Homo-oligomer: A and B are copies of this chain.
Amino acid sequence: MEDKAPASIKQFEERLIDVSESLPKRLRQCADYVAANKDRIAVSTVAEMAEGAGVQPSAFMRFCRILGFSGFSEMQRLFRESYAGGWPDYSTRLKHLREKDEGSASALLGEFVDAGRASLENLLKTIDPRTLDDAVEALAKAQMIHIIGLRRSFPVASYISYAFEKMNVPAMLHSGVGGLDNHNAIRTGDVLLAVTFSPYSAETVDMVEAVSARGIPVVALTDTIVSPLRKFEAITLSVSEVDFGAFRSLSAPLCLAIVLSVAVGTKRSD
């Protein structure tokens, strides 16, 4: 009843405060319980919420209506969506895009910008500061930093290499030019910084394996936890970038890469 449903958590909270003054007993219990347990809404059933509030499910339903929702489900949707951070569903959006705008370049731009922003936001949420610190620490102590990252990961690797050079950090980019490998350049006291994303290039995985076996520390920049680099003892920073079609904009990995570089550069200059 009343007007329309809150469209954001903020609006929801305002509405809750508004309304809670003038509520009868049971509905008041609902309001109090919800206020204290907002985070449960996304993952509970009405029955559970009702029990928590000490009321009947039907009472809880009435409460949802008073807040302006059509029912519990609608209210729950608000919380579920805002939780997952609005990770957009790209495969379907891409389909739409194809049909609608015939993939006009500016429409594409909008999608990629969106994907990039979501990825960056997610990066902030998922990176563990401790692991990041460990990675910086390890790299800062290295005599020399070896960087590998091929194919899709090559832009990231090359940017790290550029940044290190600018900051006078001794680093070597293993780009495999001319098929010349330089595995033997990696010596005790050095650290390997490996960048790889699905599909993981065999060369990178091999190098990590070989180097790791020799007891040389490895810092890995990869996607998700199922990356093959997990097998080895490496300090692993995982970043997930939203796919859009077959491509990713690399925003998040690059952002992390530059942070890593600057942090290492700063630490070393102390």
Name the distance in Å between A241's Cβ and chain B's nearest Cβ.
9
A70 to B152 Cα, complex, angstroms: 38
Does the CB pair B250–A262 fall under 8 Å? no
Stretch at the interface among A38-46, A60-68, A181-189, A204-212: A38-46
Does the CB pair A17–B87 fall under 8 Å? no
Residue from B37, B87, B250, B259 in contact with A87 in the complex, judged by beta carbons closer than 8 Å? B37
Does the CB pair B127–A247 fall under 8 Å? no
CB contact under 8 A between A104 and B91, given known A85-B42, A226-B17: no
Residue from B42, B51, B225, B259 in contact with A112 in the complex, judged by beta carbons closer than 8 Å? B259
Residue from B94, B135, B152, B249 in contact with A162 in the complex, judged by beta carbons closer than 8 Å? B152
Name the distance in Å between A239's Cβ and chain B's nearest Cβ.
10
Does the CB pair B104–A124 fall under 8 Å? no
Task: Kindly list chain B residues whose C-beta atoms are within 8 Å of the C-beta of A79.
Answer: 43
Offer 19 A-B interface pairs, CB within 8 angstroms, sorted by A: A32-B198, A32-B226, A35-B224, A35-B226, A39-B83, A40-B87, A43-B79, A90-B121, A94-B124, A105-B259, A106-B132, A109-B124, A109-B259, A110-B124, A113-B124, A155-B158, A166-B246, A177-B178, A249-B255
